[in-house]
Chain A
Amino acid sequence: MNLKCVIVEDLQVAADYLTKCCEKSGQIEVLAHFPNVAEALVYLNQHSVDLLFLDVEMPGATGFELLDQLAYFPKVVLTTSKSEYAYDAFEYNVTDFLKKPFTYQRFQESLQKITTAPENNIAATASDHIFIKSEGKLVRLNNDDILYIESMGDYVKFVTGDKKYVTHNTIKNLEEKVNRISFIKVHRSYIINISKIDDIRENDLYIKGNEIPISKAHRNEVMKRLNII
């Protein structure tokens, strides 16, 4: 197996070490290294990679903001020196979390996870409905009935006009599975039904009286999808 990877890391010594670990493994080919999100995004939107080693805090934008803007979903290993990001890492459905500096043995453990983790590239469904597990049964929700989906840690809440359903899942996972014509991610914690937006004021949008934040990273994409005359 030869995984093609990109390293996004602003600390040169860490990037060099990671490159050396990849070379030593014989299983990962490092295509490029970028010290910031902006440069990485330009490359990643033109080249498909299998794996991303991603620092979190970098100049200009964070690793999470890069994930928010990526048009596809490679396997991701977060590399940071701060354990506090572990929770966010889980929310973003990343494969592993390497705390810098890490030993080669720890890197190998990560590689094991990478090679056994399921592929992230699930095609977006064009279906007009989804089924969710709620209260011990499978419930059919028509896309047109869903107002928005909100993250609640390890769970998500599907909000319809008259009901709320809580189910074990993540926004990151759902983002790949919901119909992308009907839905759009507007914030790391929210996916909304684009046809249900009542109005937008500065950094928030409103659906049936519910205020939903639009993150800076998603604002352009949201505005592009609106039918603004």
Chain B
Amino acid sequence: MNPITLSKQFIFNEKINSDYLFSLYADDYPYIEEVFGVTLQHYDEDVDAIQAAYGNGSVADLRRGVHKIKPAFGFVGLTDIQQSCAVFEDACNRAEETETLKSDYKQLLSLLEEGKLILDKEYRKLKDFNANPL
């Protein structure tokens, strides 16, 4: 959120859309660290809600859960996962029962797990970077 200098000293994981991230926050790395941290704090709770909805067979709750977490991926630059969430949300709109979403759900869950691993790793790297920028 500082004026855009785009020094890009920090190299993000290739799965993170760094151009998108810079478009949101410029090179305000401490703030990006904060965004990653806050997202991680709520990650498990949000994914748990999705899993509970699927377990309960509620398509509506499943859609709501994915709808909620979707923009969080945008805020951390995981735009491919954000897009996958949008596709899954649309599939929920067409589905009448969770059983028909089984295969897509498994794929999504695996993406959510992958997203967390990436985010966690980048958060720790960013923390080190911000503590010792030079």
Find out whether the CB atom of A57 lies under 8 angstroms from the CB atom of B64. yes
Across the two chains, which residue of chain A brings its CB closest to B37? A13
User: A11-B68, A20-B1, A24-B1 are contacts. A103–B23 as well, Cβ < 8 Å?
Assistant: yes
Q: How far is the CB of B45 from chain A (nearest CB, A)?
A: 10
Instruction: Let me know if B39 and A13 touch, CB within 8 A.
Output: yes
Q: Which residues of B61-82 are within 8 A (CB) of A?
A: 64, 67-68, 70-72, 74-76
Q: Is A221 an interface residue (CB 8 A)?
A: no
Q: Residue B72 contacts which of A13, A20, A82 (CB distance < 8 angstroms)?
A: A13
Q: Tell whether, in the assembled complex, residue A20 and residue B70 are in contact, meaning their CB atoms are under 8 Å apart.
A: no
Report the minimum CB–CB distance from A53 to chain B (whole Å).
14
Q: Are A12 and B38 in contact (CB under 8 A)?
A: yes
Q: Determine whether the beta carbon of A100 is less than 8 Å from that of B41.
A: no
Cα–Cα distance between A103 and B75 once the two chains are bound (Å): 10
Determine which of A13, A21, A24, A100 lies in contact with B38 in the assembled complex, contact meaning CB atoms within 8 Å: A13
In the complex, A20 Cα to B1 Cα: how many Å? 9
- CB distance A12 to B75 under 8 Å? no
- Cβ of A206 within 8 Å of any chain B Cβ, yes or no, is no
In the complex, B34 has a CB within 8 A of chain A: yes
Instruction: Give A102's nearest chain B residue, CB to CB.
Output: B24
Chain B nearest Cβ from A13, distance in angstroms: 5
Q: Is the CB of B41 within 8 A of A17?
A: no
A12 vs B64: C-alpha distance when bound (angstroms):
16
A20 and B86 alpha carbons, distance in the complex (Å): 26
Q: In the complex, what distance in Å separates the CA atom of A166 from the CA atom of B90?
A: 35
B70 neighbours in A (Cβ, 8 Å)? 81
Binary interface encoding of chain B residues 28-46 relative to chain A, with 1 for a CB under 8 A from any of its CBs, else 0 = 0001001100110110000
Residue total for A at the interface (Cβ-Cβ under 8 A)? 18
Interface string of A156-200 (1 = CB under 8 A from B): 000000000000000000000000000000000000000000000
Instruction: Say whether A100 contacts B74, CB under 8 Å.
Output: yes
Q: List chain A residues, Cβ under 8 A from B68.
A: 10-11, 57
Interface positions of B (Cβ within 8 A of A): 1, 23-24, 31, 34-35, 38-39, 41-42, 64, 67-68, 70-72, 74-76, 86
Q: Which 10 interchain pairs have the tightest Cβ spacing? A: A100-B71, A81-B71, A101-B74, A13-B38, A101-B75, A13-B75, A13-B39, A81-B70, A103-B23, A12-B38
Question: What are 27 A-B contacts with C-beta separation under 8 Å?
Answer: A10-B68, A11-B72, A12-B41, A13-B39, A13-B42, A13-B72, A13-B76, A14-B71, A14-B72, A14-B75, A16-B34, A16-B35, A16-B38, A17-B75, A57-B64, A57-B67, A57-B68, A59-B64, A81-B67, A81-B74, A100-B74, A100-B75, A101-B24, A101-B74, A103-B23, A104-B1, A104-B24
- Where the two chains meet, the residues of A that have a C-beta atom closer than 8 Å to any C-beta of B are 10-14, 16-17, 20-21, 24, 57, 59, 81-82, 100-101, 103-104
